[in-house]
Amino acid sequence: MRIDDFNVSEQCLQELKRTGVTTVEDIVFFLDQYAKSGGGTFRAKWVKCFDEIVAQLKRLNLWSENMEKFWPSDEQS
């Protein structure tokens, strides 16, 4: 899915584009690999809209168990 179809705010969309992200799959791959590696310095400039990105990934059922373990939500299932 192209990020233009990701349904995030214009500010978040522009930040993603500015950093070279073109697809939602790019975001999912990055976050999943980051979580699997155990973290480190988070250098993605789109961290400014991280909460919005996470919320949208969850709505689209693209938020993995691996990512949830690394960035647990406050939501109760």
Where in the chain are the domains?
Answer: 3-70
Alpha carbons 4 and 23: distance in angstroms, whole number: 8
Alpha carbons 25 and 3: distance in angstroms, whole number: 9
Q: What is the mean pLDDT of each run of 10 residues along the chain (77 residues)?
A: 95 90 93 83 72 95 91 64
Report pLDDT for 34.
85
Residue 57 pairs with which residues in a beta bridge?
none
Report pLDDT for 39.
74
Report pLDDT for 2.
96
